[in-house]
Structure 1
Amino acid sequence: MVKGKKSIVKFVIDCTQPVDDKVLDVAQFEKYLHDRLKIGGKTGQLATSGVVLSRDRTKLTVASPAELGFSKRQLKYLSKRYLKKQQLKNYMRVVAASKNSYEMRYYAISGGDGDDEE
């Protein structure tokens, strides 16, 4: 019998804007996710279930076996919790950039210049 190659699903969290502005530390964010990601309802199961969490300079990548059914929504939830913990929730949001990626963006704040037309 020949076994097929196992399919892997990758999810990316792009933190380019806050990292460039030195607002967010990717290493701390990675550790936060590593400690709190749940597999089968339990934390601390990443290595045993084959989930790999890796970090670029500004991006975090979570690679999971497809049959595990890892939830992209869990990443958004934990990202929002991290922003709230760092007191950045009022300034940043987590937006789905594509099917398998999220992006951290600043809220668009209008300047409110007093340009009243008469």
Structure 2
Amino acid sequence: MAPVKSAAIKKSKFVIDCSAPANDKIFDVAAFEKYLHDRIKVDGRTNNLGEAVIIARADNKIIVQANIPFSKRYLKYLAKKFLKKNQVRDWLRVIASDKNTFQLRYFNIANDEEDEE
């Protein structure tokens, strides 16, 4: 039998920046971190993070480090679900600011009101 080649472990690091809404006290970063701990699935099961996924908080940023193949899109999906659950989805949106970073930003409502007039 031929030896099994080990696949290179793809490590990925994603950052979710919640600074703007957290400074305005409409977003709870600690609750969002707990939500991610409870909801992220590894091998099809929740509460199975182990060493595969590490979630940390630094100020108003959440850092997700994965030692397994992990999708950035999955983090966006979970962030949008959390916003909807807390009824702030109408005011906040999740935007990719660079390759490994998301930001929570306010919708630009002032420009919409000027266009209506």
| TM-score band, normalised by shorter chain | 0.7 to 0.9
Question: Of 3, 8, 15, which residue of structure 2 is paired with 1:12?
Answer: 15
Question: Of 6, 26, 51, which residue of structure 2 is paired with 1:23?
Answer: 26
1:45 paired to 2:85: no
The count of residues paired between Structure 1 and Structure 2 equals 108
Aligned-residue offset at 1:7: 5.4
Alignment map for 1:1-118 (pairs within 5 Å): 8-47=11-50, 49-65=51-67, 68-110=68-110, 112=113
- 5+ residue gaps in structure 2? 1-7
**Residues 2-29 of structure 1 deviation map (CA, whole Å, 9 limit, x = unaligned):** xxx9653100000000001001111000
TM-score by length of 1: 0.84
RMSD of aligned Cα (Å): 2.0
Quote the Cα distance in structure 1 between the aligned partners of 2:40 and 2:114. 44
CA contact (8 A) 1:94 1:104 kept: yes
Matching residue's letter, 1:71: S
Calculate percent identity across the aligned residue pairs. 45
**Residues 71-92 of structure 1 deviation map (CA, whole Å, 9 limit, x = unaligned):** 1111000000000010000000
- 5+ residue gaps in structure 1? none
CA contact (8 A) 1:39 1:70 kept: no
Aligned-residue offset at 1:35: 0.1
Quote the Cα distance in structure 2 between the aligned partners of 1:6 and 1:113. 51
Between 49-58 and 5-14, the greater mean CA deviation after superposition: 5-14
Aligned-residue offset at 1:50: 2.3
CA contact (8 A) 1:92 1:106 kept: yes
